[in-house]
Chain A
């Protein structure tokens, strides 16, 4: 009897069969399970899942933005490099242009000066030639006068009488010959 009482005492502490098949506890378990699931469902669907979704979306957005910004900066760098290269090429072309212009200007100046000098030289030459011709003409006249005078003198010394016209004709004929 005593041992039976002990055993009965024990029943509250020790399982007699599978506790899983003790149907008297099913209602309790199912009730608390449903409460638990509803609570978890509301925690998840109202707070946790939207929050995590927002955080993940925000992170994705940040990453996308950063990548886009990096892409942008890269494009800007390429642009800047191109602008620099263009500026360099422009400057070079400008310099070449200036060099060419200066060269052309100098050449034009030079040509103009040459032409002017040539003209002056030509003018001087012409003047000189003219002077020379004058001198030569003068000399010929002088020679003629001297020859007439000398011929007249010679004729008069020889006792002839020299008339001016025939002397002149004779001198002219001689000088032509």
Chain B
């Protein structure tokens, strides 16, 4: 089908915008088992390395007057800590290392995924769904452990008129269970769409080799588009990490303080 068409149109434009998302073994060919070293392993390891470089090597000086790298590490620390404190409250600070882990992992996975030839781990629903489910389970467990059945008051909007409350409760319950879905698909979808769009424009870029006439117009335009989308993607990479983190804080606030 589509693959046949690709094989046939040898000199034409080659569109494989989804190939970048394929999970492949690092060494050799074959099926991907659970413990196989894949490009997922590689890029997650690079994420860990980048986080280690910034937060551990960058702060090795422990300088009172920080170096640039240390400033960035401190900035990230303050940024997330303030977010947790402002949104989830002081008692949410217990979860600060956990939320910092989520934020840094998503941020670095997103940004590293923007490197040419990179693999974006956060573009996979398998990854983001696990992240979102972890948050969902944490929030639910913490909510019930802290407040017992009182956590259910989250769904009972006491400020609404009494006849409306059962209806609202139903809506609240549904929205509560939809949270992890939207939480994960938002991140994966943003990453996937942006990267795919860049790849599509990239496929248009060599047009000038095939047809000089059309290429004179299409090639510069597509290169400009790649640059523009890339800049946008850098922004999206940060914003999605931020959105994921702040939503985690908001959900956590529900668990810690279910009474609105």
Contacts and interface: CB of A to CB of B under 8 A. Distances in A.
A30 B73 contact: no
Contact of A49 (B19, B29, B34, B100): B100
B35 interface: yes
Size band of the B side of the interface? 35 or more
B141 interface: no
A59 B64 contact: yes
B38 A20 contact: no
Interface in A25-53: 25-37, 39-41, 43-45, 47-49, 51-53
B166 interface: no
Nearest to B76: A52
B6 A14 contact: yes
Interface string B98-128: 1011001100000000000000010111110
Contacts of B78: 56
B74 A15 contact: no
Contacts of B98: 41
Q: Is the interface of B mostly helix, strand, loop or mixed?
A: helix
A52 to B, nearest CB: 5
B7 interface: yes
A20 B21 contact: yes
A20 B66 contact: no
Nearest to A29: B126
A58 interface: yes
Contacts of A44: 51, 55, 97, 100-101, 104
B19 A14 contact: yes
Interface string A1-32: 00110110011111110111110111111111
Nearest to A46: B97
A54 B66 CA distance: 13
B40 A32 contact: yes
A20 to B, nearest CB: 5
Q: Is the interface of A mostly helix, strand, loop or mixed?
A: helix
B3 A14 contact: yes
Contacts of B8: 3
B32 A30 contact: no
Contacts of B100: 44, 49
A44 B105 CA distance: 11
Interface string A76-119: 00000000000000000000000000000000000000000000
A12 B8 CA distance: 17
A62 interface: yes
B38 A28 contact: yes
Most chain B CB neighbours (cut-off 10 Å) among A16, A31, A36 = A36
Contacts of B19: 13-15, 19
Given A25-B23, A56-B74, A40 B4 contact: no
Given A15-B18, A15-B21, A30-B127, 6 more contacts: A22-B23, A32-B40, A33-B126, A33-B127, A48-B59, A55-B62
28 contacts: A7-B3, A7-B4, A16-B2, A16-B3, A19-B23, A20-B188, A24-B32, A25-B38, A25-B40, A28-B23, A28-B36, A31-B35, A33-B121, A37-B101, A37-B105, A41-B97, A43-B56, A48-B59, A48-B73, A49-B55, A49-B97, A52-B55, A52-B73, A53-B77, A55-B59, A55-B62, A55-B70, A55-B74
